[in-house]
Amino acid sequence: MRKLRGWRTWIAVTAGILATVLSFGCGGGKSGRGTPAPSTGNTIYIGVAGPMTGDLAQFGESLRNGVTLAFDEINSAGGVLGKKLEIVVGDDQAKTNEGVNVARNFARDPRGIVAVLGHFNSGISKPAGEIYNKKGIVMLTPASTNPGVTGPDKPFVFRNLPNDNQNGELLAQFVVEGLKAKRIAIYFANDEYGKGLAKVVARKAKALGAEVVDQAKYDPNADEDFRPVLTKWKGLNLDAVVLAAENPKGAQLIKQAREIGLETPFAGGDGIASSELWKIGGQAADGVYVVSYFHPGNPDPAVQEFVKKYEKRFGRKADVWAAQAYDAARVLADAIRRAGSTDRKAIRDALAATDGWKGVTGPHRFKNGDAIGKRVIITRVEKKESGEYHFAFFKEVGAEEAR
């Protein structure tokens, strides 16, 4: 009889396991498209994805901190729909395969993640976004600018910043018209972000009458020595160098340029908009122009409140990526509130209908997943009287002003 009871127990346990696995694998909610249905408890789970470790971890930290601060404030005020917002962190390490794994894990998470804030890198957001879109999960990236990340064929994928078509045109326009540059060189990372931004900058600069004298690319995962190209550029009589790169490599490149005596002005995309620019580059970063969407010196009371709360909470100053993530978290929460439920399709529809919601980085509107009408700020690295470097406001331009 002991053997028979053991056999019956094995059957019962096996059946229970199969039932559990099938319930996780098949989902069941209408909005899930094969993913676990959103939780009906007192918690709404939101994925936060980015490079939490590795060379680009400073960006992931800002992203996570911005969302954390936003959710802390929202939860302290009663949450959304009477529920608490809770973060589920995914570390994609700025690697495509890891990003895909994070997306797959979020999609099958048994807690029923209703939306994802991230990823950071365009080369990861594109394949990850395809997974989220297929599964019917909203992805709102506060950082990925490659135009291919969003589109009418990806209704669940959004970004709350201008794309590289807008950024590239505005950056080129600033360099040619603002810096009066006639002879330009472009150094870009050989990835989705770098290639896309460099292409637009080159096209727009030529259209405005400037000459793109040379272009060079580097491997963001391998290259460390940029001196051969920079040395060649010393003899080209350049008026400006445009950098389509990300820190820390962007900061290293600028530092090496100054070390070999290349004093040409540098202007870079938002990939170098982090304090690593001067932490690594030191004095070489002084005077570098950088695209951004946020300035902590903005006198707007909401901006100043965010800046103070962020520094008190995390012991560091808020950068553009913390601000972008903070706004992404809050506009997503607003969409959930307007949807009146945690149904993913309803959240997607509410987010798409956002019209003028204002955050610390400006008003938010979306068309085919893209941010519409958001302004771009040109900052310049300067040293304060205290000796501390910072991004000083230089000029603000609107995406609609590009021509």
Q: Tens of pLDDT along 23-45?
A: 333 333 344 445 566 656 899 99
187/201 Cα distance (integer angstroms): 11
Q: Is the Cβ–Cβ distance between 351 and 140 less than 8 Å?
A: yes
How crowded is residue 71: how many other Cβ atoms within 10 Å of its Cβ? 24
What domains are there in the chain, each with its CATH number?
43-162+299-372 (3.40.50.2300), 165-292+377-401 (3.40.50.2300)
The kind and range of the H/E element at 329 are: helix 320-339
Region of 34 (left: φ > 0; alpha: ψ -120 to 50; beta: rest) is: left
Reduced to 3 states (helix: H, G, I; strand: E, B; else coil), residue 276 is helix
Structure tokens that stand for 265 in this block: 């002005």
Beta strand ranges found along 132-179 (DSSP E): 138-141, 157-159
Classify residue 388 by its DSSP letter.
Answer: -
What integer pLDDT is reported at residue 400 of this predicted model? 43
Q: Residue 167: what are its φ and ψ, rounded to 5°?
A: -60, -45
Region of 186 (left: φ > 0; alpha: ψ -120 to 50; beta: rest) is: beta
Q: Residue 86: what are its φ and ψ, rounded to 5°?
A: -130, 135
Classify residue 110 by its DSSP letter.
Answer: T
pTM for the model stands at 0.87
Q: Residue 290: what are its φ and ψ, rounded to 5°?
A: -140, 135
pLDDT bracket for residue 149 (50, 70, 90): very high
What integer pLDDT is reported at residue 396 of this predicted model? 82
What integer pLDDT is reported at residue 387 of this predicted model? 87
39-72 pLDDT per residue, tens: 568 999 999 999 999 999 999 999 999 999 999 9
Residue 338: CB partners within 8 Å, gap ≥ 6? 350, 353
Task: Show the CA angle centred on residue 351, arms to residues 297 and 52, nearest 5°.
Answer: 60
Q: What is the mean pLDDT of residues 303-312?
A: 97
Strand-pairing partners, residue 393, are 379
Region of 104 (left: φ > 0; alpha: ψ -120 to 50; beta: rest) is: alpha
Q: What is the mean pLDDT of residues 122-126?
A: 96
pLDDT bracket for residue 13 (50, 70, 90): very low
204-236 pLDDT per residue, tens: 999 999 999 999 999 998 999 999 999 999 999
266/127 Cα distance (integer angstroms): 32
What integer pLDDT is reported at residue 36 of this predicted model? 64
381/275 Cα distance (integer angstroms): 10
